[in-house]
A and B are shown apart, each in its own frame.
Chain A
Amino acid sequence: MLDLFPFNLNTLLVAPFTDYQFMARALLGCVTLSIGSAPIGVFLMLRRLSLTGDAMAHAILPGAAIAYLLCGLSVIAMTLGGLMAGLLVAMLSSATALKTNSSEDSTLAAFYLGSLALGVILISAKGSNIDLLHVLFGTALALDNVALILLQLTCVVSLVVLAIIYRPLVLGSLDPDYLASFGKSGNWAHLAFMFLVVANLVAGFHALGTLMAVGLMILPACIARFWARRLEPIILLSIGMSALSCWAGLLLSFHFGLPTSPSIVLVLVICYLFSILFSPLNGLFCSVLARPAQPSINKDLCS
Chain B
Amino acid sequence: MSAMITLEGLSIGYQAQSPLATDINVEVQYSDVLALVGLNGSGKSTLLKTIMGLVKPLSGSVKLDVVRSHDIAYLPQQARIEKGFPIDLKEFVSTGLWTQTGWWRSMRNYDKEVHEAIERVGLSDMTKVHLSELSGGQMQRALFARMLLQPSKLLLLDEPFNGVDEATISVLLEQLKYCQEQGATIVAAIHDLELVKQHFDQCLLFHPSGLLQGNSKSLLDASNDNAIEQAPLEVTTDSRLDLLDHA
Partner-B contacts on A (CB < 8 A): 46, 48, 164-165, 167-168, 170-171, 173-183, 185, 225, 228-231, 234
Contact B81 A174 (CB under 8 A): yes
Contact A175 B80 (CB under 8 A): yes
CA distance A178 to B149 in the complex (A): 14
CA distance A178 to B95 in the complex (A): 9
Contact A173 B86 (CB under 8 A): no
Known contacts A164-B103, A185-B103; A231 and B98 CB within 8 A of each other? no
18 A/B residue pairs, CB under 8 Å, sorted by A? A46-B82, A46-B86, A48-B82, A164-B103, A165-B103, A168-B103, A170-B87, A173-B82, A174-B87, A177-B76, A177-B79, A178-B81, A183-B69, A228-B86, A230-B86, A231-B85, A231-B86, A234-B86
Partner-A contacts on B (CB < 8 A): 52, 54, 68-70, 72, 74, 76, 79-82, 85-88, 92, 95, 98-99, 101-104, 130
Q: Which residue of B lies closest to A166 (CB)?
A: B103
Contact A175 B81 (CB under 8 A): yes
Known contacts A171-B95, A174-B95, A230-B87; A181 and B80 CB within 8 A of each other? no
Q: How many A-B residue contacts, CB cutoff 8 Å?
A: 60
Candidate in B54, B81, B86, B87 with the most chain A CB atoms within 10 angstroms: B86
For A167, what are the chain B residues with a Cβ–Cβ distance below 8 Å? 101-104
CA distance A183 to B98 in the complex (A): 11
For A182, what are the chain B residues with a Cβ–Cβ distance below 8 Å? 69-70, 98-99
Which of B52, B103, B104 is close to A181, meaning CB atoms less than 8 Å apart? B52
User: Apart from A174-B82, A185-B103, what are 14 other A-B pairs with CB-CB below 8 Å?
Assistant: A46-B82, A164-B103, A167-B101, A171-B95, A173-B82, A174-B87, A175-B79, A175-B82, A182-B70, A182-B98, A229-B86, A230-B88, A231-B87, A234-B86
CA distance A68 to B52 in the complex (A): 50
CA distance A179 to B54 in the complex (A): 12
**Closest 9 A-B residue pairs measured CB to CB?**
A183-B69, A174-B85, A175-B81, A231-B86, A181-B74, A182-B69, A230-B86, A177-B80, A167-B103
For A177, what are the chain B residues with a Cβ–Cβ distance below 8 Å? 76, 79-80
CA distance A164 to B102 in the complex (A): 11
CA distance A247 to B69 in the complex (A): 48
Contact B92 A174 (CB under 8 A): yes
For B92, what are the chain A residues with a Cβ–Cβ distance below 8 Å? 174
CB B158 to nearest CB in A, in angstroms, measures 11
CA distance A147 to B3 in the complex (A): 62
Q: Which residue of B lies closest to A181 (CB)?
A: B74
For A225, what are the chain B residues with a Cβ–Cβ distance below 8 Å? 86
CA distance A176 to B69 in the complex (A): 14
For B98, what are the chain A residues with a Cβ–Cβ distance below 8 Å? 171, 179, 182
Known contacts A167-B104, A171-B95, A181-B69; A176 and B80 CB within 8 A of each other? yes
CB A119 to nearest CB in B, in angstroms, measures 33
Contact B95 A175 (CB under 8 A): yes
Contact B82 A181 (CB under 8 A): no
Contact B85 A46 (CB under 8 A): yes
Q: Which residue of B lies closest to A185 (CB)?
A: B103
CB A147 to nearest CB in B, in angstroms, measures 33
CB A163 to nearest CB in B, in angstroms, measures 9
For B88, what are the chain A residues with a Cβ–Cβ distance below 8 Å? 230
CB B246 to nearest CB in A, in angstroms, measures 27
For A181, what are the chain B residues with a Cβ–Cβ distance below 8 Å? 52, 54, 69, 72, 74
CA distance A168 to B104 in the complex (A): 10
CA distance A168 to B101 in the complex (A): 11
Contact B79 A178 (CB under 8 A): yes
Q: Which residue of A lies closest to B74 (CB)?
A: A181
CB B227 to nearest CB in A, in angstroms, measures 30
CB B200 to nearest CB in A, in angstroms, measures 23
CA distance A231 to B82 in the complex (A): 13
Q: Which residue of A lies closest to B156 (CB)?
A: A181
CA distance A227 to B86 in the complex (A): 11
CA distance A177 to B98 in the complex (A): 13
For A231, what are the chain B residues with a Cβ–Cβ distance below 8 Å? 85-87
CB A105 to nearest CB in B, in angstroms, measures 16
Candidate in A228, A231, A234 with the most chain B CB atoms within 10 angstroms: A231
For B86, what are the chain A residues with a Cβ–Cβ distance below 8 Å? 46, 225, 228-231, 234
For B104, what are the chain A residues with a Cβ–Cβ distance below 8 Å? 164, 167
CA distance A165 to B68 in the complex (A): 22
CB A166 to nearest CB in B, in angstroms, measures 8
CB A164 to nearest CB in B, in angstroms, measures 7
